[in-house]
Amino acid sequence: MREVAIVGEAAAADTQVLLAEVWEGYRPYQVVAVGDGASSAVPLLANRPQLEVGKATAYVCKNFACQRPTMEAAILREQLHSS
C-alpha cells in the first residue's frame, strides 16, 4: 500500500495542484491524507513539515519508508509512478 501525505492548506492552489497529480490515473491501494501537519490527529501527517513555510509539500511513502518530500508536481508524478 502506498501512503501520500500532502501537508498544506487544503484549499490553497499549490495543495490542489499536488492533489490533482495524486488523483490522476488509477492507483488502487493508495491512502491520501491532506492537512496542515500541525495536528497529530492524523498519523500520516504527523512529523511531516512543509519544506518552505506556506508551500504545500508531498510525501510519498511505502512500507513505512518515504521518498524525499517535494513541492513540485512533476517530481511527485515521478515518485507516484516509481513506487
pLDDT tens for each residue of the chain, 83 residues long: 899 999 999 999 999 999 999 999 888 899 999 998 776 688 899 889 999 998 999 999 998 899 999 999 999 999 999 86
Contacts of 74 (CB under 8 A, 6+ apart): none
How many domains are contained in the chain?
1
Contacts of 70 (CB under 8 A, 6+ apart): 51, 57, 58, 76, 79
At 66, give phi and psi (nearest 5°).
Answer: -105, 145
Report, in angstroms and rounded to the nearest whole number, the Rg of the chain calculated over CA atoms: 11
The residue segments making up the domain with residue 36 are: 2-82
List the Cα angle 44/62/42 in 5-degree steps: 5
CATH of the domain at 64: 3.40.30
